[in-house]
Amino acid sequence: MENTAQDPFARPDPEQARRGRAHEALFRITERHATGQDRDRWTNMRMPMSPHAAIQRVNDLAAGSALPDEGAPSVDQDDLTAALTLVPWARAEFDQLESGLLTMGKGRGMTWQELAFGLGLGTAQAARQRHERLTRRTEEE
């Protein structure tokens, strides 16, 4: 008989724990802080904000550059933790977008030097290497 009980003294894997709470983090921020169309989509269809929009909203509220809706709670430590939880998810989405843009640029005849210019990189080699890194990262996820 195989023992499937988890070792009570083993340290939890932080990345696995973060992934496990990512959807809850998105729901928390949407429920507490969504505004405008994001609030309407949540209220009418239970569709949460995008990870990027949720992070941006918490950041803006915490920094004081946005005002909360009337009656909405202020940003607390759990909201900041939720936003931080979403950063790798949002980063992965941007990596996929960037990789796709580079691939489409190449497919439409742009040179690596032209792509490097768009990215603010100095050389064609830097753009190629960036594309390779992004491709590897997005394939791993």
Residue 17: pLDDT band with limits 50, 70, 90: confident
> What's the confidence (pLDDT) of residue 3?
52
Query: Model confidence over 117-128: pLDDT tens digits?
Result: 999 999 999 999
pTM for the structure as a whole: 0.81
* CA separation for the pair 101, 128 (Å, rounded): 13
> What's the confidence (pLDDT) of residue 5?
64
Residue 72 has pLDDT above 90, yes or no: yes
H helix runs in 1-141, sequence order: 14-33, 36-45, 51-63, 77-107, 112-119, 124-140
Query: Model confidence over 82-104: pLDDT tens digits?
Result: 999 999 999 999 999 999 999 99
Burial (Cβ within 10 Å: 0-12, 13-18, ≥19) of residue 122: exposed
Stretch 43-64: mean pLDDT: 97
* CA separation for the pair 41, 35 (Å, rounded): 10
> What's the confidence (pLDDT) of residue 4?
52
Residue 133 has pLDDT above 90, yes or no: yes
CA angle 90, 92, 97 (to 5 degrees): 95
Q: What is the DSSP letter of 9?
A: T
> Of 41, 30, 43, 42, whose CA–CA distance to 73 is shortest?
30
Q: What is the mean pLDDT of the chain?
A: 93
Stretch 5-32: mean pLDDT: 89
CB-facing half-sphere around the CA of 37: CA atoms within 13 A: 2
> What's the confidence (pLDDT) of residue 1?
47
